[in-house]
Amino acid sequence: MKKGAGSAKSESATAVDESSVSASGTNTDASQAGPDQDRSPDTENLPMSGIRVIDVGTFLAGPYAASMLGEFGAEILKVEHPINGDPMRRFGTASKRHDATLAWLSEGRNKKSVTMDLRQREGVELFLKLVAKSDVLIENFRPGTMEEWGLGWDVLSKANPALVMLRVSGYGQTGPYRSRSGFAHIAHGFAGLSYLAGFPGETPVVPGTTPLGDYLSSLYGAIGILLALRHSEATGEGQIIDIGIYEAVFRQMDEIAAAYGMFGKVRQREGAGSFVAVPHGHFRTIDDKWVAIACTTDKMFERIAEAMGRPELASAEYYGNQRKRLAARDEVNRIVIEWVGSLTRDEIMKLCIDGEVPIGKLNSIADIFEDEHFLARGNLAHIKEDGVGDVVIPGVVPTLSETPGRISNLGPPLGNATYEVLRELLGITGPEIQRLRQRKII
C-alpha cells in the first residue's frame, strides 16, 4: 500500500451526477487551507493509516464512503474540476464560506481538494500519475463516463494493477437500465421502499427527506473497499466494486421478496404501524408530542397493560395472544391511543421505561440537540471552521475502543491541496504547476 504524502489521507441530492458533469475545483493554494481547529491530525495509529483514496465523484453516493475511510486514517484526495468543483458545494443551506454549504462542510469532511480537468489530455495524464500512487479510486458517474475520458478500467489497472475501484451508479454498470441517471429519490422508489411509505390507500410519500440510498450505497461501498483491499494486499490484484444505489436500498427490505416469491404477497403501506405487531407505531401525547411504542411479543403487551393499569387486557380472554391482538388491531390501537393521549410525553416515557415497555421519543433536531444521550455519546461534533464559526455535524460512527476515528477537517476549500499533491507527491515543478494553472488543467 502507498503511504500518504501528508497528514490524514480523500444527491444529498443524490449520488449519480449527469455524465455531463466532470470531476472537478478552483485554484486555491495549500497555504490557504483552514487553521488548526482543535482536531487531532494524528493518523499513525488509525486502522486505515497508509491508505490513499482518490474520490473523483460528486454529491454523496460513493464520496460518503471516502469520508468514512478518512475518519479512520485514510488520506482522501478529492479530485474536482478547476472551475466550480463538486456541485455539492452549492447544495443545501448556505454557510458564511462562499464555496461551501453546510452539507459540503459536513459530508466533505476529512478530505483534501485537488483540482484537475479530466476532459483535457494533460488532466488525464496527471490523474493517472495520481492513480499509480494510490490504493483506492471512487467514482459515481453515469456508466461509460470514465471510459469517455480515457479512464476505463483497462487504463486504470494498467497504471496500478493493485487498484481497488468503487463504482456507484443509479442502476449499476450492467443491465438494461445502466445508462439511466440515478438519484436516491429514484432508487427508493425503484427498490420498493417508497411504495411502503405512507398510509393505506394514500399517495406514497418520501421515506424521510434525506438521501438514504446515497448513504446506504456508500456504506456497502466502504465494506467492499475493505474486502477488496484485503484481497489486493494478499495477491497484488485490484478489482472493481459495482453498486447500484437501488441495490443498497433493496437489500434492506427484510422478507418482502421471500413473501412474494412463496405466497404472492404484496406488502402495502401501513402508516406508522406494522402488519406483524400491535400496538406498534407512533402515538401523540396530550402536550402534542409523539412517542414510538414497539410491542412484538405477548410479554411486551403484558408490560404495556400493566403500565396502563389494565392488566386484564393481557389475559387470554382479551388480547394476551398475538393473533387475537392482530385480529383486533383497530380496537387495541384505540385503547393505546387514548391512554397515550391522556398523558404528557414525560409522563408516558416514565411509565413505560419503569415498566420496561419499549418506547422512544420522536425527536426533532431541536430535541436531539438537548438530549443527554446524544451528548454523552458524542453524536454531535462541534467543529470551529475559519470564516464560518462553530459547525455542528454528526460525529464519527462506529466507535472503536482502541483506534477511534476523528474529524481532521470539514469540507475543504476548492483546490486547497492541489499544489501540495502535485509538488510533493507527483514531483511536478513550480513553473510547470503555474503553466497548468494558466491552461486551466488544474
Q: pLDDT tens digit string along 109-165?
A: 999 999 999 999 999 999 999 999 999 999 999 999 999 999 999 999 999 999 999
Residue 336 domain-assigned?
A: yes
Round to whole Å and give the CA distance between 341 and 316. 26
Same domain? 66 vs 208: yes
The predicted model scores a pTM of 0.89
**Structure-block grid coordinates of residue 134:** 494510490
Same domain? 132 vs 199: yes
Q: Which of 333, 368, 403 is the last residue of a domain?
A: 368
Say how far residue 220 (Cα) sits from the centre of its chain: 10
Same domain? 168 vs 50: yes
Same domain? 129 vs 192: yes
Same domain? 355 vs 416: no
Q: Which of 368, 403, 427 is the last residue of a domain?
A: 368
Confidence of residue 232 (pLDDT cuts 50, 70, 90): very high
Of 86, 214, 354, 371, the active-site residue reads 214
Residue 64 domain-assigned?
A: yes
Q: pLDDT tens digit string along 366-425?
A: 999 999 999 999 999 999 999 999 999 999 999 999 999 999 999 999 999 999 999 999
Same domain? 165 vs 36: yes
Count CA atoms within 13 Å of residue 134 on its CB side: 29
Report yes or no: 282 and 291 within 8 Å, Cβ to Cβ. Answer: yes
Q: Which domain holds residue 287?
A: 281-368
Q: pLDDT tens digit string along 183-205?
A: 999 999 999 999 999 999 999 99
Report yes or no: 43 and 76 within 8 Å, Cβ to Cβ. Answer: no
Q: How many domains does the chain have?
A: 2
Q: Which of 368, 402, 424 is the last residue of a domain?
A: 368
Residue 24 domain-assigned?
A: no
Round to whole Å and give the CA distance between 213 and 334. 35
Same domain? 315 vs 221: no
Residue 298 domain-assigned?
A: yes
Give the CATH number for residue 288: 3.30.1540.10
User: Is 86 labeled as catalytic in the residue annotation?
Assistant: no
Same domain? 358 vs 402: no
Over range 227-244, report the average pLDDT: 98
Same domain? 67 vs 136: yes
Q: pLDDT tens digit string along 41-93?
A: 566 789 999 999 999 999 999 999 999 999 999 999 999 999 999 999 999 99
Same domain? 97 vs 232: yes
Same domain? 425 vs 361: no
Please state the length of the chain. 442
Closest by CA to 51, choosing from 30, 65, 67, 69, is 69
Q: Is the pLDDT of residue 19 over 50?
A: no
Residue 100 domain-assigned?
A: yes
Long-range contacts of the stretch 341-350 (C-beta < 8 A, 24+)? 341/283, 341/284, 341/285, 341/286, 342/286, 343/285, 343/286, 344/285, 344/286, 344/287, 344/289, 345/285, 345/287, 345/289, 345/290, 345/291, 347/285, 348/285, 348/291, 349/291
Residue 410 domain-assigned?
A: yes
Residue 84 domain-assigned?
A: yes
Same domain? 408 vs 350: no
Residue 424 domain-assigned?
A: yes
Give the CATH number for residue 72: 3.40.50.10540
